[in-house]
Amino acid sequence: MEPASGAEPAGAAGGGAAESLDRPLPEGVRRRVVALVSDAFGGLTVTELPAQLRQYARFTPTRRAKFAGNAMASALESDPLFRQRVGERFRDAQPELAAALDAGSPPAAADPLDVAAAAFVLRPAGWSKLVTAAGEEAQRADAERADEATLRELERLRAELARTKATARAEQERIRTELDAARKEAESLQRKLRGALSDVKRGEAALRKAAAEAEAARAESAAQIAAAESETRRLRTRLGEAEAAVEAGRRAAREGRSVEDMRLRLLLDTVLESAQGLRRELALPPVSVRPADTVDAVEPGRMSPKDIAARALSETDPKLLDQLLALPQAHLVVDGYNVTKTGYPTMPLEKQRLRLLGGLSALAAQSGAEVTCVFDGAELAAPVLLAPPRGVRVLFSKPGVTADELIRQLVRAEPPGRPLVVVSSDREVADGVAKAGARPVASTLLLKRLSRA
């Protein structure tokens, strides 16, 4: 017979109502209690539910257990009538377990968590001990499972360590094998290298021998050419003598027409024709160099920068720079900061560079000369974002290298004889480039030329 509404179940009357837990409900037991309440929840009407649980009446058991677990556990603890109704549903669902709990002898084969959850709902005598024992049993089971998992993990790690050691041994063996092969290959390559070096030495010796033979052949050819020239001069002398004899014979023929004279004439003509054939046989190719070409002089249109000084222009006349840049293939090298700090020292360095490069661009367009402007890289506080103007090569010296040294490198890089003009008022720079064959001009001369443009 079901207990009256609002009263505890009969099995709880013997002392279960006065019992309570001295510790929080174990988590495993709590989950089973929530699931049990959620299953019994659906068999109750809305009016039979506590007010705080009515909003979950339409939820599925799984959603109720997920979203209303705390609310159901709280209602089960604080509302005896609700607990009684849930207990009645449980008795209907599992009468054997409920009867065993009422008799105080729960089945030994039953899950301790299910027994504890049922005891928490039905509240028979000694229910708190059942809940506590179930929690402890669950903890022992969890500990045993943890120990088993730890043992399994330990066994797995041991097996993995054994595999790793085996793999490491195999890898060491493979590496040792590869090292031996690499050592053998290195020895083979060293032998090949020694053979190649020996071949190179033999080749160098053969090259030196061939060079010596070529030099001997050139000397022999020179001797043969000298002998041929001597023979040519001798034959030319004989040819001159024959021509003189022919001319004498002609004169004798004009003076007399006797038979003997005619024979002589015939003989002389024969000699002349022989001499002409000999001349054709000994003919040399036309020479490409004439004796007059070997005389050292300056031809029109090929004047060097030093020749300009002979003209009647002053060293400060801007026209002097125009004449220098008018030389064929002229190259103008400018000491940038030497010019800017001479002409406009109060301006910032960036504006000095822009002003000078703009003038040099116009000068390059007017003269057609190659223009290079050199700046000292030590003056830079940050990287320069500069687009070089058309016709002007802009260079900055590297760290540790001055602009003066860079200018001297540019002068040394040019071939001898090319017109090279260096703009700098630095006496050391001017003297150094003059010794290298360049034409130094003062910075003021370039400033005057740029201001005139």
Write down the residue that tokens 């003297």 correspond to: 431
> Would you state the pLDDT for residue 93?
75
Q: Facing residues of 373 across strands?
A: 334, 394
**Coil vs helix vs strand at 281:** helix
| Distance between start and end Cα atoms, the chain | 125
Q: How confident is the model at residue 393 (pLDDT cuts 50, 70, 90)?
A: very high
Q: Reply yes or no on whether the pLDDT at 320 is more than 90.
A: no
SS3 string, 38-104, reads HHHHCCCCCCCCCHHHHHHCCCCHHHHHHHCHHHHHHHHHHCHHHHHHHHHHHHHHCHHHHHHHHCC
> Would you state the pLDDT for residue 253?
62
Of 388 and 368, the structure prediction assigns the larger pLDDT to 368
Q: How far apart are CA 349 and CA 379, in angstroms?
A: 9
Q: How far apart are CA 238 and CA 226, in angstroms?
A: 19
Q: How confident is the model at residue 439 (pLDDT cuts 50, 70, 90)?
A: very high
**CB of 116 within 8 A of CB of 36?**
no
Q: What is the DSSP letter of 400?
A: T
Burial 219-230 (b: 16+ CB within 10 A, else e): eeeeeeeeeeee
Q: What angle do CA 344, 349, 353 make, to 5 degrees?
A: 80
> Would you state the pLDDT for residue 15?
42
Q: How confident is the model at residue 141 (pLDDT cuts 50, 70, 90)?
A: low
Q: Reply yes or no on whether the pLDDT at 452 is more than 50.
A: yes
**CB of 377 within 8 A of CB of 397?**
yes
Residue 226 main-chain phi, psi, to 5 deg: -65, -40
**Coil vs helix vs strand at 312:** coil
> Would you state the pLDDT for residue 48?
75
Q: What is the pTM of this model?
A: 0.35
How many other C-beta atoms are found inside a 10 Å radius of the C-beta of residue 67?
Answer: 13
pLDDT tens digits, one per residue of 214-245:
999 999 888 899 888 888 888 888 888 888 88
Q: Reply yes or no on whether the pLDDT at 301 is more than 50.
A: no
> Would you state the pLDDT for residue 357?
92
Top-ranked range on mean pLDDT: pick from 86-100, 127-141, 166-180, 312-326:
166-180
pLDDT tens digits, one per residue of 22-79:
566 677 777 877 777 777 776 777 777 787 777 777 788 777 777 777 777 777 777 7
Write down the residue that tokens 């002053």 correspond to: 314
> Would you state the pLDDT for residue 69?
73
pLDDT tens digits, one per residue of 239-292:
888 888 888 777 766 655 565 555 455 556 556 655 665 666 566 444 454 444
pLDDT tens digits, one per residue of 394-416:
999 888 888 999 999 999 988 88
Residue 15 main-chain phi, psi, to 5 deg: 145, -10
Q: How far apart are CA 369 and CA 317, in angstroms?
A: 19
Strands (E), 292-443: 331-335, 370-375, 392-396, 420-423, 439-441
How many other C-beta atoms are found inside a 10 Å radius of the C-beta of residue 389?
Answer: 20
Return the closest-CA partner of residue 47 out of 1, 85, 99.
85
Burial 420-433 (b: 16+ CB within 10 A, else e): bbbbbbbeebbebb
Q: Reply yes or no on whether the pLDDT at 424 is more than 90.
A: yes
> Would you state the pLDDT for residue 337?
93
> Would you state the pLDDT for residue 287?
46
Strands in 439-441's sheet, in edge-to-edge order, are 392-396, 370-375, 331-335, 420-423, 439-441
> Would you state the pLDDT for residue 296?
45
